[in-house]
Amino acid sequence: MSSKRIRRPFKNGAAISVRQLARSDSGLGMTEILVAMMVFAIIATTAAYGMLNALTLTSSTRASETAMSIASSDLDQMRLAASVDDNGVFSVVSTSSPIPKNVGGTAFSVTRTVTWQTTTGTIGACGTGTGTLQYKNVSETVSWVASNGRTRSITMSSAIAPLSNINSDTTGTIIVTVTGAGGQPVPGLTVSITPTSGGGGSALNDAPENTDIAGCSFGLLVDPGSYAVTASLAGDIDLNQSPIAITPNGAPVSVVAGQNTLVNFTYDQAATFPLTYPAGATLPTNLPISFYHATPGTTAFNGTAPFSATPPASVKAFPWGDGYTILGGTYNYTATASPASCLDTNPASWTTARADGALGVAPTPVFAAPGGTAPSTAVPMGTLTLPSVSSLSGKYITAMTASTPAAGDPGCNAGQKLLFPVQGSASPTKLALPYGTWNLYYGTTAGSTTSAFTSALLTGQTGGVVGSGNSILIDPRVP
């Protein structure tokens, strides 16, 4: 059969040839084009995501490898430092702040944490417990910000041992730790360890190093016996207001063979506390200014010379974060009645209301940051203004705690004796006195109690409440 006679589909009843069918093709429609573009977009997006994910994974892996290399390098440096000599391990210490490292445009941060491991299994920055020091646990953490904005980190740990035993069965170790007002370690203190007379100890072969970044210092290979331990740094002060940190009450510490002896000091930069007193008043020459904090109790600050000194215009004190109650006069707090207690100088102790309902108001605690200066503080006291009394000219006035306090006065069992300078001819005379019940005297010598005040001398006074005889009440209670 001839190819000319081949027929294809019919149109309107007539056969259509292959050539005619080809000529009638009008191309792809819009729908087909949109579908094709969508399919292409999906394939392209999937491919791009895969490539981006691969690049991100590669970058993250590279950063992790770099971080591990940084941590490993720092550990190697610590091992090298520990291998310098027998005491080299003491130079392996924690970082005080993160160490920045920049590698390949990526910023890394390195933090090193170091603790001592002892034979008893205890762990601490300086070593704790009675077990001897064995080796140091070193943990390196390297962190960085990944390309997705998240912070990532890796941690590596290692044990670093000293070249030789730093203790023996026949000697002990004195571990000194120093922390500040906020509990932070205090580096750079000079530490002294000396044997006490007759205590059986002996001078150390190697003086202890200054406290390190963790606030630690060590007396090594210490013969058993009794030792005095101190620490100091210019401008610093301990919690008992001493410029040299000493053990409680200066008591020596005992060293036992094969064991650690721990000495903990609280020491920081001294803060300055400016003080003011009642305006225009004559102050006792021996007036103590009491700084009270619950931890150490009361510290009294006085003038420097008897009978001619004035109370301090400012005081350097340990910078407790919760501050001090500052009071004029002696203040000794005891939870129960005691011959040593003296409460009435603190207005907060006056808890018995007057007839008008007035009570004592607690002074606001005063605080300052380490090395800083507190706001100027008006020392809580009362005043007693005496009328013009010519007989007091050239005389010394003495105030003594009354043996029987007035009603509502919490009392001062310890007693106080305050000395005023010689009185001039000018009058009236205004005296500043701590709160409490006082007996007043005068005489020709400082501190004289030979002549008691008479009612005539107290007639017309202001600021106090006259009692019997020469007694007068300086009352802090206010409505």
- Tell me how long the chain is: 479
The answer as to whether 410 is a domain residue is yes
Q: In what order do the strands lie in the sheet with 271-276?
A: 314-317, 271-276, 377-378
The answer as to whether 31 is a domain residue is no
Q: How confident is the model at residue 121 (pLDDT cuts 50, 70, 90)?
A: confident
Boundary (domain end) residue, out of 215, 234, 265: 265
Residue 26: the pLDDT is 54
User: How many Cβ atoms sit within 10 Å of the Cβ of residue 229?
Assistant: 22
Residues 114, 255 share a domain = yes
The answer as to whether 402 is a domain residue is yes
pLDDT of residue 7 exceeding 50, the answer is no
> Tens digits of per-residue pLDDT, 179-217?
999 999 999 999 999 999 999 999 999 899 999 998 999
Boundary (domain end) residue, out of 265, 286, 315: 265
335: three-class secondary structure by DSSP: coil
> Tens digits of per-residue pLDDT, 383-434?
999 987 788 888 999 999 999 999 999 999 999 999 999 888 766 789 999 9
Mean pLDDT of 340-368: 95
What angle (nearest 5°) sits at the alpha carbon of residue 446, between those of residues 443 and 451?
20
The answer as to whether 323 is a domain residue is no
The answer as to whether 418 is a domain residue is yes
Structure tokens at 344: 């009435």
Q: How confident is the model at residue 242 (pLDDT cuts 50, 70, 90)?
A: very high
Residue 1: the pLDDT is 43
The answer as to whether 366 is a domain residue is no
Residue 117: which domain range?
88-265
Boundary (domain end) residue, out of 247, 265, 283: 265
Residues 397, 249 share a domain = no
Residues 387, 253 share a domain = no
Residue 340: the pLDDT is 93
The answer as to whether 336 is a domain residue is no
User: How many Cβ atoms sit within 10 Å of the Cβ of residue 276?
Assistant: 10
Q: What is the C-alpha separation between 193 and 228, in angstroms, rounded? A: 6
